Chains A and B, each alone.
Chain A
Amino acid sequence: MLQLHHLLLLLPLLLPLYGAIFCLFSWNRVNLQMAIACVIQLAMVVASGALLYAVNHEGILVTQLGNWPAPFGITLVADLFSALMVVTASITGAAVVLFSLRGLDLPRQDYGYYPLILMLQMGVAGVCLTGDLFNLFVWFEVLLICCFVMITLGGTKPQLEGAIKYVTINILASGLLLTGIGVVYGITGSLNMAELAMLVRMPSINKSLFLMASTFFIVSLGIKAALFPLFFWLPASYHTPPIAISSFIGGLLTKVGIYAMIRLFTLIFVVEQELILAFFTITAGFTMVIGVLGAAAHYDFRKILSFHIVSQIGYMLMGLAIFTTLSIAGTILFIVHNVFVKTNLFLVSGVVGRLKGSFDLKKLGSQYLQRPFLALLFLISALALAGLPPLSGFWPKFILVKAGLEAEQYTIVGVSLCVSIITLFSMTKIWNEVFWKKQPETDETEPDADRLTKALLYAPIIFLALCILYIGLNAEAAIGLAYRAAEQVLNTDLYINAVLNR
Chain B
Amino acid sequence: MDIVLPFITGLLFATGLYLILHRHFFKLILGIILFGLATNLFIFTIGRLTRGGSPIIPQGSEVAIEPYADPVPQALLLTAIVIGFGIQAFAIVLVKRVYQAFGTNNLDDLNNTDKTIIPPKE
Contacts and interface: CB of A to CB of B under 8 A. Distances in A.
Interface of A: 134, 138, 141, 144-145, 148-149, 152, 155, 157-158, 160-165, 167-168, 171-172, 174-175, 178-179, 181-183, 185-186, 191, 235-237, 239-240, 297-300, 360-362
B13 to A, nearest CB: 9
A119 to B, nearest CB: 13
B1 interface: no
Interface residues of B, number: 38
A145 B28 CA distance: 18
B98 A167 contact: no
B113 interface: yes
A171 B87 contact: yes
Instruction: Tell me the interface secondary structure of chain B in the complex.
Output: helix
A430 B87 CA distance: 38
Contacts of A181: 43, 76
B119 interface: yes
A236 to B, nearest CB: 5
B108 interface: no
Contacts of A298: 116-117
B82 to A, nearest CB: 10
Contacts of B48: 186
B113 A239 contact: yes
A160 B99 CA distance: 10
A436 B87 CA distance: 46
Interface string B71-112: 011001001100100110011001101100110000100101
Nearest to B109: A161
Contacts of A179: 39, 42-43
A178 B80 contact: yes
Nearest to B102: A157
Contacts of B113: 158, 161-162, 236-237, 239-240
Contact of B32 (A155, A162, A168, A178): A168
A185 B72 contact: yes
B83 A141 contact: yes
Interface of B: 20, 28, 32, 35-36, 38-39, 42-43, 46-48, 72-73, 76, 79-80, 83, 86-87, 90-91, 94-95, 97-98, 101-102, 107, 110, 112-114, 116-120
B57 to A, nearest CB: 14
A385 to B, nearest CB: 21
Contacts of B90: 145, 148-149, 167
Contacts, number: 104
Interface centre among B48, B79, B114, B118 (most CB of A within 10 A): B114
Contact of A168 (B28, B39, B72): B28
B119 A182 contact: no
Contacts of A172: 20, 35
A166 B41 CA distance: 25
Contact of A145 (B36, B86, B95, B101): B86
B80 to A, nearest CB: 6
Contacts of B35: 171-172, 175
A501 B79 CA distance: 28
Given A172-B35, A360-B117, A178 B91 contact: no
A171 B72 contact: no
B87 A145 contact: yes
B101 to A, nearest CB: 5
Contacts of A237: 113
Nearest to A134: B76
B16 to A, nearest CB: 8
Contacts of B80: 178
B15 to A, nearest CB: 13
Given A158-B112, A185-B46, A185-B73, A167 B91 contact: yes
Contacts of A164: 94-95, 98, 107, 110
A157 B102 CA distance: 8
Given A145-B87, A162-B113, A360-B117, A167 B94 contact: yes
A141 B101 contact: no
A155 B117 contact: no
B43 A182 contact: yes
Nearest to B40: A178
Contact of A175 (B39, B110, B112): B39
Contact of A161 (B73, B91, B112, B119): B112
Given A138-B79, A167-B94, A235-B114, A160 B101 contact: yes
What 9 A-B pairs are tightest by C-beta distance, nearest first?
A186-B46, A182-B43, A175-B39, A178-B39, A161-B110, A182-B46, A160-B98, A141-B83, A236-B114
Contacts of B95: 164
B6 to A, nearest CB: 12
A360 B119 CA distance: 10
Contacts of A183: 46
